[in-house]
Amino acid sequence: MTGHMTPEEFRRYGRQVVDWIADYQEKVESYPVLSQARPGDVLAGLPAHPPERGEGFEAVLADLDRVVLPGITHWQHPGFFAYFPANASGPAILGDLLSAGLGVQGMLWATSPACTELETRVLDWLAELLDLPARFRSGGAGGGVIQDSASGAALVAVLAALHRADGGASGRDGINRRHTLYISSQTHSSMEKAARVAGIGAGNVRVVDTDPGTLAMDPARLEAMLAADAAAGALPVLVCATVGTTSTTAVDPVAAIGEVCRRHGVWLHVDAAYAGVAAVCPELRWVNDGLDGHVDSYSTNPHKWLLTNFDCNAFWVADREPLVGALSILPEYLRNRATTSGEVIDYRDWQISLGRRFRALKLWSVIRWYGAEGLREHVRTGVRLAGGLAEEIAADPGFELLPHHPFGLVCFRPRWEGLPDVEADAATMRLMERLNASGDLYLTHTKVGGRVLLRMAIGAPATGDAHVAAAWERIRAEAAAEG
Ligand SMILES: *Cc1c(COP(=O)(O)O)cnc(C)c1O
């Protein structure tokens, strides 16, 4: 029998694991970016039954190489350009390891004061680094919290907005009149999911028109819909504006939308999951335009572009009252003096689940390791590489470029001269599949105005000029072969 791992054994295996990760970082480029595994391959490599007798940890490490790695898509590969980046970094990995090592559950201030107070401080730090309005800092009525994801933040925002809109009635009695929520066709799907989960219903999610050129939400259309819905007896709950949409990084006019929301007394949530962290750079602070107006909640993901391993969403509210009102329940077994004193934050009241990990450690490690300077440098590298690629694409007569690319995402397609749209789109998809099968790079696609575009999202810490140049060379060559 293998008993509990002793500190001595932990030291030995821990060094092996850290070495394994360092080796992985050194050779990540040698793997095919997109896993070549077929459905069931990984399953077939795993025993159907758990072991009766404990094994040495070497056995786990051996299977990691044999079974797990072939089924890994390498998000930290310098040729990973799919979706958005999910940055990992040394300090974030070590911060997460420390969190696991401490093994605390930070549901209440009292269950580990440091887990709460470090999180409060780090979210204030991040608000300062991004130059967010003072309302979002913990010193006043608002404050920040780490959520698992932007999707979790969206749900929490909807629940807080619901609470404010009907004074807690639906939380108590259930929703018994029509509530509405406003998005655009470019809003992330997590908002519709939040509406479903919150009981508002997907059918009451109203889709506001966007400008066909900029794909930004039209505030005049929003105002008209809000007025018409309210006149018809609905209770508008929340509007979601996006800064940096998932499809093309389009930017909604937050200031104008905020004015509409103010007039109608509706909660405005700003989803800046990918692009919000760009505000670490003064030259990109325009992403905050409008946040100093009527904005009730704001969310961005350090786990995308800001070097912090998943999961780490930063979520701020201008007023914590409706949030805590919506989510606080105090059963007898959680009663404690600190909570009843009202002097402390209990973050369980700011999220869906009760329990919570000590995620602030990894964000704290990242901010201290890189400093504001290092974070800016990372974002600037992504923006510079994307800008350079966009210039190459624009200069190539065989390709068409989506002109909007202020961050790390570039959208484009081959022109496929002479092909009807449907066939051209099919050719673009075939091109993407061939590129992704090559193992050298990984791209995804989107549709704008019904037409397929390739998305190349630059921002992995390992990606440099040579990787982007090689990817572009490859794309041109494969497109020429296809065309
Ligand atoms: C990626 C993304 C999300 C979802 O992020 P998760 O943290 O994975 O839930 C939401 N909104 C936008 C705009 C995104 O780009």
Domain map (residue ranges) of the chain = 1-30+35-70, 104-357, 381-482
Query: Of the residues 75, 274, 312, 352, which should be mutated to test ligand 1's pocket, given the most ligand atoms within 8 Å of the CB?
Result: 274
What is the whole-number distance in angstroms between the Cα of residue 56 and the centre of ligand 1? Answer: 39
Question: What single DSSP character describes residue 38?
Answer: P
Quick one: fold of 104-357? Aspartate Aminotransferase; domain 2 (3.40.640)
Q: Does domain 1-30+35-70 fall into CATH 2.40.50.140?
A: no
Cα of 210 from ligand 1 centre, angstroms: 19
- Domain 381-482: which CATH number of 3.40.50.1000, 3.30.1490.20, 3.90.1150.10, 1.10.150.110: 3.90.1150.10
**Residue 414, exposed/middle/buried by CB under 10 A (0-12, 13-18, 19+)?**
buried
For the CA of 244, the closest atom of ligand 1 is 13
The confidence score (pLDDT) of residue 1 equals 56
Measured CA angle at 92 (ends 86, 98), to 5 deg: 135
Q: Kindly list the protein residues whose Cβ atom lies closer than 6 A to any atom of ligand 1.
A: 84, 149-151, 188, 190, 242, 245-246, 271, 273-274, 301, 313
C-alpha 442 to ligand 1 mean position (Å): 19
Cα(195) to centroid(ligand 1), Å: 16
Find the 272 Cα to ligand 1 centroid distance in Å: 8
Taking CA atoms, 5 is separated from 11, 53, 54, 482, in Å, by 10, 14, 11, 56
* Distance of alpha carbon 176 from alpha carbon 180, whole angstroms: 12
| CA 238 to ligand 1 centroid distance, Å | 18
Q: How many CA atoms lie within 13 A of 191 on its CB side?
A: 30
Q: Which of 156, 190, 254 to mutate to test the pocket of ligand 1 (most atoms within 8 A of CB)?
A: 190
The candidate with the shortest Cα–Cα distance to 261, out of 243, 231, 236, is 236
Q: How big, in percent rounded to 5, are the helix, strand and coil portions of the chain? A: 50, 15, 35
Average pLDDT by stretches of 10, the chain with 483 residues: 90 97 98 96 97 94 96 98 98 98 97 98 98 95 97 98 94 93 97 97 97 97 98 97 98 98 98 98 98 97 98 97 93 85 93 97 98 98 98 98 97 96 97 96 97 98 98 97 80
Give, for ligand 1, the residue of 188, 189, 269, 303 to mutate: max count of ligand atoms closer than 8 Å to Cβ.
188
Contact between 338 and 110 (Cβ < 8 Å): yes
Ligand 1 centroid – CA 113 distance (Å): 30
3-class SS of residue 445: strand
